[in-house]
Amino acid sequence: MAATRIRNTLVRRLVIALCVLAWLSVAYARLYRGAHHTTDILVGIVNGLACTALAWGYLRRDGEGAEERDPGAERAGETAQSRA
């Protein structure tokens, strides 16, 4: 998730590709060595994608409503709309 905040497009895509390649190679190695069954790997992928979607949604919400809030008023328990 932190890789999506890299400003340079080429570097961002490279880091994301390396991260995906890392978990694919670990999944393959676990299957190859017999440490896990195919269903274990598939459930792990689904779980990882669900966690990624939740984290993505959480991290993307940081800018919502920022223009409506007054940072100084939060300490006093007021919002910019309640003052107007």
pLDDT at 29: 93
Whether 71 is in a domain gets the answer no
Q: Which residue has the tokens 């949604």?
A: 57
Arithmetic mean of pLDDT, 69-74: 54
Greater pLDDT, 25 or 77: 25
In a domain, 36, yes or no: yes
DSSP SS3 for 37: coil
Q: What domain count does the chain have?
A: 1
Domain range enclosing 48: 2-62
pLDDT at 67: 53
Bigger pLDDT: 33 or 62? 33
Whether 74 is in a domain gets the answer no
**Residue 42: which of 27, 54, 56, 52 has the closest Cα?**
27
